[in-house]
Amino acid sequence: MPGRKTLRPEKIARVEAMRATVASGKVTALVGLRGVPASALQSMRQELRNRGHPILVAPNSTIRHAIERAIETRPSLQPLLAQVEDQTAVLSAEGNPFALFAEFAATRSPTPARGGESAPADIVVPAGTTSFKPGPIVGELQHAGFPAAIEKGKVVLKRDTTIVKQGATIPREVAGLLTRMDIFPLEVGLDLRALVDGDTFYPHDALAIDLEALRASFARSARAALGLAVEIAYPTETSIPILLARAHRSALGLAVAGGYITKETIPALFARAMREAAAIQHLTGK
């Protein structure tokens, strides 16, 4: 491309191989690798490869060149260029984007902070008794911002405390104390940063949905829609059996009330006649 250095033959070969992979899959995704230890990354890559989702790891410059080349035949990949940052890998796969995101989310696990990291969410330390024995630790906790005190011979935290706000840097002193309290505020694992499914681009936030909550919401909506259809007698494949049953009960009740004799009303009419006869007998004393 104009204004760029000539690529070495071996790099051209790597770019071309990645371009072919990026352009061929129905789903092309960028995966963040930041913070994943080499041993864990190797294990995760093997697991995903076994599921048919091989991950290609390369320098960002190679990934950018490959996507730029692939855009020539698949323009929908254009938004991915802006997502190539930090430590990135490429995934080419088939299947449902949301199921794929859930697979990657399952690779993530809590990990302790060392200090200096950015808090991914508010770090809230709950009130209650700690495992610490009374001593200098109380002063350490208080100095770091924890509402520590000694009660009945035990070190307690007197109230729930947001010790680090989302996006703020986790101090080393706080990180060490959190680890000693078995509070692991970070996550390690593969992060599906963005993907293109066919011609549709999905950023991370569009994929990060709670599937169980969504299923529950759909179920509630379906029940509400069925209730409305039955209420207004709107015929659908689902409402017709309920409407027929309700109509049958109404017709049967009307026939019994009007004394109309049918095979189905005879038992109810006979029972009513017996009750009326018994009432008359009781009133007349006969």
Helix spans in the chain (H): 9-24, 38-50, 60-71, 97-105, 137-144, 172-180, 204-207, 211-231, 239-257, 266-284
| pLDDT-based confidence at residue 155 (cuts at 50, 70, 90) | very high
Written as six digits, the tokens of 102 are: 């859930």
Range scoring the smallest mean pLDDT among 3-17, 115-129, 200-214: 3-17
- Higher-pLDDT residue of 155 and 17 is 155
d(CA 47, CA 35) in angstroms, rounded, equals: 18
Tell which phi-psi region holds residue 134, choosing left (phi > 0), alpha (psi between -120 and 50) or beta. beta
Q: What percent of the chain has pLDDT over 70?
A: 97
Instruction: Give the pLDDT of residue 5.
Output: 58
Instruction: Give the pLDDT of residue 1.
Output: 46
| pLDDT-based confidence at residue 180 (cuts at 50, 70, 90) | very high
Q: Give tens-digit pLDDT for 258-277.
A: 888 888 888 888 888 888 78
pTM of the model: 0.58
Buried b (16+ CB within 10 A) or exposed e, 102-135: ebbbebeeebbbeeeeebeeebebeeeebebeee
Residues for the chain: how many in total? 286
- Which range of 14-18, 95-99, 147-151, 190-194 scores highest in mean pLDDT? It is 147-151
Instruction: Give the pLDDT of residue 120.
Output: 87
Written as six digits, the tokens of 146 are: 């924890």
Which domains, and CATH codes, for the chain?
9-108+189-208 (3.30.70.1730), 123-186 (3.90.105.20), 214-284 (no CATH)
Predicted confidence (pLDDT) at residue 51 exceeds the cutoff of 70: yes
Range scoring the smallest mean pLDDT among 46-50, 139-143, 157-161, 250-254: 46-50
